[in-house]
């Protein structure tokens, strides 16, 4: 795809599509709860539609009714074997969370996915789940998908100290814990997104969070709910950065999810002297309007407990840093190596192709500021967030063309990304 370059500015409003993490979970919780769950602003992207189809295969009636997705949950016990392997595509959230969710069933499920999924580490969920009594194996004895989950209805609760900061691992254990006998306690390495905990409470479950320790008693029954999915801050992030680095820009992002566990990028933008305002805050729905304007930015350091609060935004934050005054250092972010692609290497290599000085380190990136980006051929490596970051980078290229291969990957989390971007462009 030939990307748009050399624009005069970006102005206007974007209604950010639904949050990916919350959309996945709303289907999963709707499926295991009793009664109807109605989901507003569900993200109809490849990843989340994959989760929806998966639960249909497991015998759950799910349909679209006007603007809503309706899940007719009949409780965990009513889930049925899909008989065939289920292909979850590119979605790490689906495979990891559902490994926990399905561990306590009385049937066997095989979960498979695309080429990227078959390289993603699964021991991080398989090992703790096995301690709870689960029977899960990877492909030919490895830790990689396809995963075979031989359901074990007698799971036991346990205390687990997490070796990685991962909301997916935490959520897999909590989902298994909901079906297990006894207490399940998860102690986080760093606090990660807490949508699973929020949703267990919203669906009438009991869960206690004290600092980094989360506890629930199993088994528990949940009740269907109305879920209003806020816009995805991880999708809004591309336009936040675009509005800050493209001259003559002002972008209004409506309905952005503002869970404290996800707003690391806003903290970083402020740290970098970026002009960002939040209005219309809705504390119940944890959402609001975010307004950004072209800014004089300065470099910063990003690490420690901030990392899980902006983990998916790091490639586009690296782009932001190329336009700041001074150096930016990103550390403690080794998890980026095991995302849809190795995002440390991919971010460094593709921004380098565009003329930026970006160095990949063991656990992050070092980015020189005030870089002029230049024409190039770049690739998303089939990674949706890499594709969107590069499309934003192209906007500030003044001469020549930027061609992006595997641009279609954006549909994993933001099918209308290019349409929304073009609405904002002042040529
Ligand atoms: C997610 C958690 C994060 C994030 C992913 C979605 C989730 O992964 O990168 O895009 O929905 O729980 P990890 O928990 O593995 O860090």
> Which residue, chain included where needed, has tokens 């504390």?
283
E strand residue ranges, 261-407: 275-282, 287-293, 301-302, 328-330, 358-360, 365-367, 376-379, 402-405
Pairing of strands 358-360, 402-405: unpaired
The neighbouring-strand residues paired with 365 are 330, 360
Radius of gyration (C-alpha) of the chain in whole angstroms: 21
Mutation pick for ligand 1 pocket among 124, 168, 172, 314 (CB with most ligand atoms within 8 Å): 168
DSSP symbols for 214-250: EEEEES---B--EEEPPB-HHHHHHHHHHHHHSTT-E
pLDDT in tens, 72-130: 999 999 999 999 999 999 999 999 999 999 999 999 999 999 999 999 999 999 999 99
Residue nearest (by alpha carbon) to ligand 1 atom 10: 312
Hey, what are 262's tokens? 């996800």
The pLDDT of residue 427 is above 80 = no
Q: Is 335 in the pocket of ligand 1 (CB under 6 A)?
A: yes
Instruction: Provide, rounded to the nearest whole percent, the portion of the chain with pLDDT above 70.
Output: 100
Active site residue 312: yes
Domain segments of the chain: what residues? Answer: 11-18+230-424, 20-228
Give the integer Cα–Cα distance in Å for 142 and 123: 9
| 286 pocket-lining for ligand 1 (C-beta < 6 Å) | no
Q: What is the pLDDT of residue 89?
A: 95
Residue numbering of the annotated binding site for 3-phosphoshikimate: 20-21, 25, 166, 168, 312, 339
- Select which of 47, 194, 232, 312 is catalytic: 312
What pLDDT sits at residue 170?
A: 98
354-366 pLDDT, tens digit each: 999 999 999 999 9
As given in the structure block, the two tokens for residue 304 are 């420690």
The answer, yes or no, to whether any atom of ligand 1 lies below 6 A from the CB of 403, is: no
Q: Among 1.10.760.10, 3.65.10.10, 3.40.50.620, 3.30.1330.10, what is the CATH number of 20-228?
A: 3.65.10.10
**Of 159, 74, 172, 59, the residue nearest 107 (C-alpha):** 59
Res. 216 pLDDT band, cuts 50 70 90: very high
171 CB within 6 A, ligand 1: yes
CB of 188 within 6 A of ligand 1: the answer is no
User: Could you tell me the pLDDT band of residue 182, with boundaries at 50, 70 and 90?
Assistant: very high
Burial class (CB in 10 A: 0-12, 13-18, 19+), 154: exposed
Q: What was the pLDDT predicted at 221? A: 97
**Rounded to the nearest whole angstrom, what is the distance from the C-alpha of residue 305 to the centroid of ligand 1?**
15
Distance, in Å, from the CA atom of 186 to the CA atom of 381, rounded to the nearest integer, reads: 34
Nearest-CA residue for atom 9 of ligand 1: 312
Contact 350, 338 (CB under 8 A): no
Q: Encoding tokens for residue 146?
A: 């396809």
Query: What sign does the CA torsion over 373, 320, 7, 233 have?
Result: positive
| Mode of pairing for the β-strands spanning 213-218 and 287-293 | unpaired
418: which 2 tokens? 């290019």
> Which pLDDT band, with edges at 50, 70 and 90, does 426 fall under?
confident
Work out the number of other CB atoms within 10 angstroms of the CB of residue 416.
17
DSSP per-residue letters across 327-370: -EEE-S-GGGGGSSS-HHHHHHHHHHHTT--EEE-SSSEEE-SS
CB 167 less than 6 A from any atom of ligand 1: yes
**What does the block give as tokens for 301?**
């350091």
- List, as residue ranges, the binding site: 20-21, 25, 92, 120, 166, 168, 312, 339, 343, 385
Q: In the block, which residue shows the tokens 């070796």?
A: 163
Beta carbon of 93 within 6 Å of any ligand 1 atom: yes
Q: Do the Cβ atoms of 207 and 216 come closer than 8 Å?
A: yes
As given in the structure block, the two tokens for residue 35 are 């009664």
The second-level CATH assignment, the architecture, of 11-18+230-424 is Alpha-beta prism (3.65)
Probe target for ligand 1 pocket from 167, 192, 334, 414, with the most ligand atoms within 8 Å of CB: 167
d(CA 150, ligand 1 centre) in Å: 25
């Amino acid at each position: 795809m030939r990307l748009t370059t050399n624009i005069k500015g970006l102005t206007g409003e974007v209604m950010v599509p639904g949050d990916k993490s919350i959309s996945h979970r709303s289907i999963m919780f709707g499926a295991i709860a009793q009664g109807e769950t109605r989901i507003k602003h569900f993200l109809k992207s490849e990843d989340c539609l994959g989760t929806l189809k998966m639960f249909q295969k497991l015998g759950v009636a799910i349909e679209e009714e006007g603007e809503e997705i309706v899940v007719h949950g009949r409780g965990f016990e009513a889930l049925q074997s899909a008989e065939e392997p289920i292909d979850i595509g590119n979605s790490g959230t689906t495979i990891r969370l559902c490994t926990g969710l399905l561990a306590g069933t009385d049937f066997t499920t095989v979960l498979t996915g695309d080429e990227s999924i078959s390289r993603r580490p699964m021991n991080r969920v398989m090992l703790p789940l096995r301690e709870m009594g689960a029977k899960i194996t990877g492909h030919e004895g490895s830790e990689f998908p396809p995963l075979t989950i031989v359901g074990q209805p007698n799971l036991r609760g346990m205390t687990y100290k997490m070796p990685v900061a991962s909301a997916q691992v935490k959520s897999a254990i909590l989902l298994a814990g909901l079906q297990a006998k006894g207490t399940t306690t998860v102690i986080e390495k760093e606090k990660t997104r807490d949508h699973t905990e929020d949703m267990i409470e919203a669906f009438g479950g009991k869960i206690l969070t004290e600092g980094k320790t989360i506890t629930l008693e199993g088994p528990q029954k949940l009740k269907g709910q109305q879920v209003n999915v806020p816009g995805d801050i991880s999708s809004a992030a591309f336009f936040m950065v675009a509005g800050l680095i493209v001259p003559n820009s002002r972008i209004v992002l409506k309905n952005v999810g503002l869970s404290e566990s996800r707003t690391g990028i806003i903290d970083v933008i402020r740290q970098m002297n970026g002009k960002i305002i939040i209005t219309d805050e809705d504390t119940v729905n944890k959402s609001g309007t975010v307004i950004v304007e072209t800014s004089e930015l300065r470099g910063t350091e990003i690490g420690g407990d901030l990392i899980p609060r902006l983990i998916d935004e790091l490639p586009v934050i690296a782009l932001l840093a190329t336009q700041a005054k001074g150096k930016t250092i990103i550390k403690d972010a080794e998890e980026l190596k095991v995302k849809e692609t190795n995002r440390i290497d991919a971010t460094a290599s593709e921004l380098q192709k565009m003329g930026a000085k970006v160095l990949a380190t063991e656990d992050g990136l070092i980015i020189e500021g005030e870089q002029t980006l230049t024409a190039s051929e770049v690739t998303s490596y089939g990674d949706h967030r890499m594709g969107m970051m590069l499309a934003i980078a192209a906007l500030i290229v003044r001469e020549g063309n930027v061609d992006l291969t595997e641009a279609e990957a954006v549909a994993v989390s933001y099918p209308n990304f290019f349409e929304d971007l073009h609405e904002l462009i002042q040529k």
